[in-house]
Amino acid sequence: MRRVGLALVGIILIIAIFAPLIAPYTPTEYVGQSLLAPNSSYLLGTNDLGEDIFSRLLYGARTSVSIGFFTALLATFFSLLIGVTSALFAGVYDLFWMRLIDALLAIPTVLIIILIAAFFRVSLWGMIIILSLLSWQQGARVIRNQSKSLLKSNFILAAQGFGAGKLHITLKHLLSHLLPLLSVQLLMVFRRAVFLEAGMSFLGVGDPSLVSWGRMIRQALEYIYLGSWSWWLLPPGVLLTLTILGVVLLEYGRDSQRSI
């Protein structure tokens, strides 16, 4: 399972990183007649603006992966920061964050993104920041609970007995024990971010000039009566599914490993 997941994610990563080398054209280049069916020079034909669909597909991986990767990094950092400090300082500080998390979890994410996008320009980085701000809550709560129980364990009590400060305990002891949790967290946020970005682009929210799978699906739908779905609509859908499936399998692999 884990291997399949690793392979899938690996392939997508390679596509994303080496897109400029693999892609025959730049994704926004006018390469020829629009709405061509697949042929030897345009593997997946061209879209309504005469851009090469295959190249756009490869570059779309870049958008998905970078949004997933940076959102996961940023959101997990927030989770860690808030989770660990809540466990350490406890009291009103802890109460404040936990209630805030409750409140934030109750608000539907998609709605917030659409609202923000209605008032502000949402670039690639803007999308990453919004998604991060909406993805740290669950992780923070899990990390806080885990840290709380770790803080009661003997080795930390012992360290405290020897006069270790909060910073020392966090860096030396807590972090290393939180690592498995963090990696699950990273994968979960990654998967969610990739999915949300595709969904938002499909709805037409965000930067219209971003080359993204969700947006490709949206554009392909407009021309669906031309019979172009099999080379324009299907490929981004399949790649999106494979990416998310790959990450899910990785997560599953981690879980089953741990339970053994």
Partner 1 sequence: MKKSLSIILVVVLVVGMGAFLSGCGQETEVEIVRIGDENGDWGYPTPHGHYLRGPGYLRMSFIFDTLIWKDENGFVSALAEDWEYDEEENCFIFELRDDVRWHDGEDFTAQDVAFTFDYLQKHPYPWANLDSVEKVELIDDYQVKVYLSQAHAPFLERVAGVMPILPEHIWAEVEEPAEFTGEEAVVGTGPYELLEYDQTQGSYHYAANQNYYGGEPIAEELMFVESSNPEMALQRGNINAAGVMAEAIPELEQQGFELITGNHFWAAKLMMNQHQEPFDQRKFRQALAYAIDREELVERGLRGYGIAGSQGLIAPESRWAAEDLPEYAYSPEKAKELIEELGYTMEDGIYTKGDQRLEFTLLSFEDRIPEIIKQNLAKVGIEIELRVLDTASLDARVDDWDFDLAMSGHGALGGDPMVLNQMILDDDPKSVRFEENQDLLDKLNQQLRIMDEDKRLEMVKEIQSIYAEEMPAVTLYYPEDYWAIDDTIDWFYTEGGVAIGIPLPLNKLSLIERDIN
> Residue 110 Cβ, how far from partner 1 at the closest point, in Å?
18
Residue of 93, 224, 238, 258 interacting with partner 1 (CB under 8 A): 224
Is 226 one of the binding residues for partner 1 (CB under 8 A)? Answer: yes
Other CB atoms within a 10 A radius of the CB of residue 257 amount to 11
Q: Please measure the distance between the N-terminal and C-terminal CA atoms of the chain and give it in whole angstroms.
A: 15
How many Å apart are CA 19 and CA 143, to the nearest integer? 36
Q: Is 66 exposed, middle or buried (0-12, 13-18, 19+ CB in 10 A)?
A: middle
Residues of span 112-171 touching partner 1 by CB under 8 A: 121, 123
Contact of 128 with 71, CB cutoff 8 Å: yes
Residue of 30, 89, 93, 96 interacting with partner 1 (CB under 8 A): 30
How many Å apart are CA 208 and CA 144, to the nearest integer? 38
Shorter beta-carbon distance to partner 1: residue 91 or 208: 208
> Residue 160: CB partners within 8 Å, gap ≥ 6?
169
**Stretch of residues binding partner 1 (CB under 8 A), selected from 15-23, 27-35, 104-112, 251-259:** 27-35
Residue of 78, 223, 229, 252 interacting with partner 1 (CB under 8 A): 223
Task: Decide: helix, strand or coil at residue 96.
Answer: helix
Residue of 35, 159, 245, 248 interacting with partner 1 (CB under 8 A): 35
**Stretch of residues binding partner 1 (CB under 8 A), selected from 62-70, 81-89, 207-215, 231-239:** 207-215
How many Å apart are CA 139 and CA 186, to the nearest integer? 9
**Stretch of residues binding partner 1 (CB under 8 A), selected from 44-52, 78-86, 165-173, 189-197:** 44-52
DSSP letters spanning 98-163: HHHHHHHHTS-HHHHHHHHHHHS---HHHHHHHHHHTTSHHHHHHHHHHHHHHHTSHHHHHHHHTT
> Residue 108 Cβ, how far from partner 1 at the closest point, in Å?
19
> Residue 53 Cβ, how far from partner 1 at the closest point, in Å?
14
Shorter beta-carbon distance to partner 1: residue 63 or 79: 63
- For tokens 């979890």, the residue is 105
Shorter beta-carbon distance to partner 1: residue 71 or 219: 219
Distances (CA, A) of 174 to 109, 146, 152, 160, 179: 30, 9, 11, 13, 9
> Residue 209 Cβ, how far from partner 1 at the closest point, in Å?
5
Residue of 1, 3, 28, 157 interacting with partner 1 (CB under 8 A): 28
> Residue 223 Cβ, how far from partner 1 at the closest point, in Å?
7
Nearest 5°: phi and psi at 41? -90, -30
Shorter beta-carbon distance to partner 1: residue 123 or 149: 123
Chain residues in the site for partner 1 (CB under 8 A) = 28, 30, 34-35, 48-50, 121, 123, 204, 207-209, 219, 221-226
